[in-house]
Structure 1
Amino acid sequence: MSAPQIKIPATYMRGGTSKGVFFKLDDLPKAAQVPGPARDNLLLRVIGSPDPYGKHTDGMGGATSSTSKTVILSQSSKADHDVDYLFGQVAIDKPFIDWSGNCGNLTAAVGSFAISNGLVAAERMPQNGICTVRIWQANINKTIFAHVPITNGEVQETGDFELDGVTFPAAEVQIEFLDPAADEGEGGGAMFPTGNLVDELDVPGIGTFKATLINAGIPTIFVNAADIGYSGTELQDAINSDTAALARFETIRAYGAVKMGLISDISEAAARAHTPKIAFVAPPASYVSSSGKQVNAGDIDLLVRALSMGKLHHAMMGTAAVAIGTAAAIPGTLVNLAAGGTAREAVRFGHPSGTLRVGAAATQVNGQWTVTKAIMSRSARVLMEGWVRVPGDCF
């Protein structure tokens, strides 16, 4: 006889241009409260992976990198923090969860969930105003502040803040990534793991490209769009319908990961699909976004397109936006050069769904670049709450 289904308290949330299934750590079955195969197998089943049909019909996932996400939250174990945030990027067609990085978009939802689920002390909650939720990002050992609006003692989710890539307006949540490039724990912990603002990245069988390799927000490989045959105005179909192009991007990503010191051999890249990201940049140009909205060259500083989990992202990953803002603030990087080559503390870039502004404060000390914080605005909303159900023997 097959095991009956069990139910687990969960909340389905949108954060920025992503959505995922949120859990409190102590609501998970005991075997899944610690890292390991039981936790991974449970979350894979929740999302509906691996799915050879690529649809997530039998799970909560949305069959894209932006919607195949899981979050585990708990009372923070760190002093001066409210909540510990652990993020799992779930592969769609493989039995694999990547725990190597953060999701910056879902960070906006972490603050809201923490407040609504009693993870923020009552004395830190205003009746009306802004509650600053102090988040410990456990994947990358970082502090993030989510500035969440409060009305009558509850999270204010509705509002008129519009975010390109999200259909409806909502309340604005400002996200502050503190010291996003320090102590990454990999690639020497340096913002620029090779010591260079621009490297020559040799990819056998494809070519040699100028690349900016940066650890900020999330390890990211930036290349020039023109060097790989693109304009920077591409939308998803132009890349995602081209299997040869996707294979080239993955090969470039693998060799970049080796050069960054994240892996020792390109064969290891498949087991590290979430990081590093690969993105291509270009000077400003006008284009029509995926929603049909006109984006004018005069309204942006540069163009950026980024891939996530092997596909071109429909908008921009929040952590990659931190990398973009940080690199833009440092004269000489490919991102900065695409934006005109001048010193700047904020940049507005064009992505497939529209535009996004991100700020970063970067300084040079003893010849080494550091960034103290990066800031962007997102929004978040509870879509559904209650329980998810999975077969009791799936983990």
Structure 2
Amino acid sequence: MMRFLCFTALSIQFLLLVTNCLTLNDSTTTHHRHECNQHESNALLNFKQSFIRSKYASYSPFSYPKTVSGIPTTDCCSWDGIECDELTGHVISIDLSSSLLYGFMDPNSTLFSLVHLQSLDLSDNDFNHSQIPARIGDLSQLRHLNLSHGNENTFSGEVPPQVSQLSNLLSLDLRSYTLESRPYYLINNLQLKASTLTSLTQNTTRLEHLRLNFVTISSSLPHTLTNLTSLQMLSLFNCELHGEFPLGIFHLPNLTVLDLGENQNLRGLLPNFFSKTLVTIYLPRTSFYGTLPTSIENLTSLNWFEISSCNFYGVIPSSIGNLTQLALLDLTNNSFDGEIPHSLFGFENLVNLFLDYNFFEGHLALDMFLKLKMLNGLGLSHNKLSLFSQNRAVNVTTLPPIQ
């Protein structure tokens, strides 16, 4: 009995010791959690005070003034849109997107003293056509940089070559965009020199997302882009690109989105496809040319394929029937001919099918369209096609598209 009591007492003492150790560790961890550095707090406050709030500065319907939470007497790590390193207290992330900020970006802003920053998102604010400061290159730890805008980009002038010094970048977004599906009216306020783009693609070898829509580049694309094996998204809509498109970009092993639309002088062929990662190929109003390769069947993840108003010709290979994930297929205004493959009409996920202004010929039974249960938009006009319904032919030469 005495042995049992002694053992029990020892067990209780051991448990108390373990509990005390755990409590000590927790308190030690809490004790070492640093608050925001005063210098960095002041830098954020100065940056905030250099702008006013304007309801017209942000395009998003979900915008709100995140900087309201920036009160000098509080820890800046608790402010809306600010993230700090738990151990050092250094500011590592700023997300002031859609914060109704209006004003001029000071070339020597205190923002650029926050050298521990890994993520900076100032998208969808109005910087009154100021230039992107060259001191952006001081933020050498940046992994994510987003200066895009939901309407015309409110930065203007040349993108500083110092951007190419940000060798840790995983994503760069300088685009203009709208919620409209056809944003052709936007103005290219930013310019990017070909030499800067080349340096950027040489130095930022881990880049995953590059979005430069409506940034004037006015050159051919550097072949160094084909070395970005981590690249997942390349979006260069309306950049005034010209010359021959490097075919190797299609073969990047992780590429899912390729958007080159509205670059009317950009030429290129579709290669033999091997990758199964591509989800979007968007090439409307470019000078891409040639035929659709039968290897298109390998693009089994493809959801969006738009090559309207290009210079493609020939027949559509029946192997296109393997693209069962397609939601949109737009071949409008090319020189395709022959019959439309019946395999197209087995796409249960297809929402939009536009084949207008080509040289397709033959007869299509209306029953074929019944399989397209998700179909919302259909364009077959200005071809040599006839639809058959209960032994009755309907000419669709001038039939307007269904939208």
The answer, yes or no, to whether TM exceeds 0.5 is: no
Q: TM-score, normalised by structure 1?
A: 0.25
Q: TM-score, normalised by structure 2?
A: 0.25
Say which structure, 1 or 2, has more relative contact order (CA 8 Å, 6+ apart). 1
Q: Which has the larger radius of gyration?
A: 2
Report which of the two has the higher share of strand: 1
